[in-house]
Structure 1
Amino acid sequence: MAQQEYQKYYVPEQSIWPIVGAVALFLIAVGAGNLVIESSKGESGFGKYTLIAGLAALLIMIVGWFKNQIDESMSGLYSDQLGRSYRQGMSWFIFSEVMFFAAFFGALFYARTISVPWLAGASNNAMTNEVLWPTFEAVWPLLTTPGGTESATMSWFGLPLANTVILLISSVTLHYAHVGLEQNKRKQLTGLLFFTIVLGLIFLGLQSWEYIHAYDIGLTLDSGVYGNTFFLLTGFHGMHVTLGTVILIVMLFRVMKGHFTPKEHFAFQAGSWYWHFVDVVWVMLFFFVYIL
């Protein structure tokens, strides 16, 4: 019987980047939380600077970790077995992101279908209604908080609709960029990948504009459960679009350096998976947050 041939499975050395990433996320959480509190009180503190420090550390971590991965890949250290591990890892990562957004969508549905009707006295909760908020009416979105703060809704038409079209187009352009890579059409690959990045940046710019408009019409983080869920879902999605855009920019530089071949390009494929996932989340978000 012929002896079975085993491939080498590359195990990298200990890395500082997970620690840097953990510190960065901690600084971002502390900074963002304090920034929100300080803004609501009209104060100026360390929240903004802590947030900036966290974002800078996160960017350093991404650049450094990507560089290490690229160097290992181009040095021929990876094998087919390791490639399967990467595919499994990316699949589980996207699944974890599905659960991440499922929690926020679940909070939205719970507020709309359970909490709001209960406050109005549904499901034998008349006493809850009388004690907590006697004049409350079960409508969504809630435009008035118990403290009397009033806000407005964000229409689905205009910037949200434009951003939906932009992300849907970006999925198409990225798909055909991938097709160009598989068919070794470098010009198609480079051009459509660059166009996808431009669309991602336009999306982020329009979302920033939308947030400015939201505050102008009174839709803020102080706008009760509607404002909280609106900014929570759209804000985290915007963060994911930002990360996806950074990944695609890295892929563009690698494409320009000739790193990928029609058969060996999982890094590009992983970035494509992530971008398509982000697009699907936005379509759901557009439907459940803006339209319904």
Structure 2
Amino acid sequence: MAHAHGEYYLPQPSYWPIIGTIAIFTTLSSFAAYLNGVEIGGYGMIGGIALLLFMMFGWFRVVINESESGLYNEQVDRSFRWGMIWFIFSEVFFFAGFFGALLYTRVFSLPWLLGEGDKGAAHTLLWPEFTENWPSNGPAGIGGDFESMEAWGIPALNTLILLTSGATVTWAHWALKADNRRNLILGLFLTFSLGLTFVGCQAYEYSHAYTHMNLTLGSGVYGSVFFMLTGFHGFHVTVGSIMLITIFLRSIRGHFTPKHHFAFEAVAWYWHFVDIVWLGLFIFVYWI
């Protein structure tokens, strides 16, 4: 059983990390299967996401109960802060990999295939008839004709939505430190409402892309990079919204004090990170 031991806190063995690992593996492997035409992959994705939500609900409940029972001290608080810092650090590199793929494709590989740069011989050796530039639909137009996504529509609106949500969560943080419970709850409500609105707008954008623009995951390298970057970001916004709803409900129940509210800060850090990633997406995927 979990208990405090002197300066350190010793948690009981937990099965939640194992369940989370199984959920993520199931979701991603099923998604890969679905993309390759395996029908059962869609059902596996649904099951994996459901298991992931179950894990989040169960693990959140355990940690919340431990926190409200007074088991956490300053040492645990420092450990949590460093844990969250390293988690966000790993997320930076996760998205850096996809941004790197976009950079390599646009700045290096496509110019080489056009005969430019120090590897311009690739134009003659690999694809002599290549004349395209960004956005590319793949070798010999294998991705089919499609329209690229414009920046000054839903993407610009979503940028405004996320920037506003960053301001509302900061306002809620100020209210918490000032012990203003009413403004704390209102700020959190506005923040997760804006987050869910963002996800809804992105879902509409995806539907429009597939049905009217022929822009899909199979639309060459442009479609692949576009949906991988924006899709994973949308997933992060969804997870962040769930966490915001959790601390919103906790705030209603009277949890958190001006000096004891790391869970709130962790979610706020995560949300600001999501905002920053979206700015990079808007500039390099939609605008430039």
Question: Structure 1: 5+ residue runs without aligned partners?
Answer: 1-5, 39-43
Matches within 5 A, 1:103-142: 103-137=97-131, 139-142=133-136
Distance in 2 between residues matched to 1:62 and 1:143, nearest whole Å? 38
Distance in 2 between residues matched to 1:107 and 1:259, nearest whole Å? 43
Distance in 1 between residues matched to 2:238 and 2:63, nearest whole Å? 20
1:10 is paired with a residue of what secondary structure? strand
1:172 equivalenced with 2:170 (yes/no)? no
Q: Percent identity?
A: 50
The equivalent position to 1:226 in structure 2, one of 215, 222, 225, is 222
Q: What is aligned with 1:36?
A: 35
Distance in 2 between residues matched to 1:224 and 1:178, nearest whole Å? 43
Q: What is aligned with 1:252?
A: 248
> Aligned pair in 2 of structure 1 residues 78, 126: CA closer, same or farther (>3 Å)?
closer
Contact 1:7–1:81 (CA<8 Å) still a contact in 2?
no
The equivalent position to 2:188 in structure 1, one of 186, 193, 207, is 193
Structure 1 residues 199-208 or 26-35, which shifts more? 26-35
2:8 is paired with a residue of what secondary structure? coil
Distance in 2 between residues matched to 1:280 and 1:124, nearest whole Å? 34
1:146 is paired with a residue of what secondary structure? helix
Q: What is aligned with 1:264?
A: 260
> Aligned pair in 2 of structure 1 residues 133, 253: CA closer, same or farther (>3 Å)?
same
What's the TM-score once normalised by structure 1's chain length?
Answer: 0.93
- Following superposition, the deviation at residue 133 of structure 1 comes to 1.7
CA RMSD in angstroms comes to 1.4
The equivalent position to 1:184 in structure 2, one of 175, 179, 185, is 179
In the alignment of these two chains, the number of paired residues is 282
Distance in 1 between residues matched to 2:138 and 2:39, nearest whole Å? 30
- Following superposition, the deviation at residue 151 of structure 1 comes to 1.5
**Aligned residue identity for 2:55:** M
Structure 1 residues 181-190 or 117-126, which shifts more? 117-126
Distance in 2 between residues matched to 1:284 and 1:184, nearest whole Å? 34
Q: What is aligned with 2:72?
A: 78
Structure 1 residues 123-132 or 104-113, which shifts more? 123-132
Distance in 2 between residues matched to 1:163 and 1:242, nearest whole Å? 14
Contact 2:138–2:221 (CA<8 Å) still a contact in 1?
no
Distance in 1 between residues matched to 2:277 and 2:108, nearest whole Å? 23
Distance in 2 between residues matched to 1:126 and 1:79, nearest whole Å? 61
Matches within 5 A, 1:130-169: 130-137=124-131, 139-143=133-137, 145-148=139-142, 149-169=144-164
- Following superposition, the deviation at residue 192 of structure 1 comes to 1.2
- Following superposition, the deviation at residue 127 of structure 1 comes to 3.7
Question: Structure 2: 5+ residue runs without aligned partners?
Answer: none
- Following superposition, the deviation at residue 132 of structure 1 comes to 2.2
Distance in 1 between residues matched to 2:61 and 2:95, nearest whole Å? 29
Q: What is aligned with 2:87?
A: 93
Moved over 4 A (4+): none
- Following superposition, the deviation at residue 213 of structure 1 comes to 1.1
Distance in 2 between residues matched to 1:126 and 1:259, nearest whole Å? 62
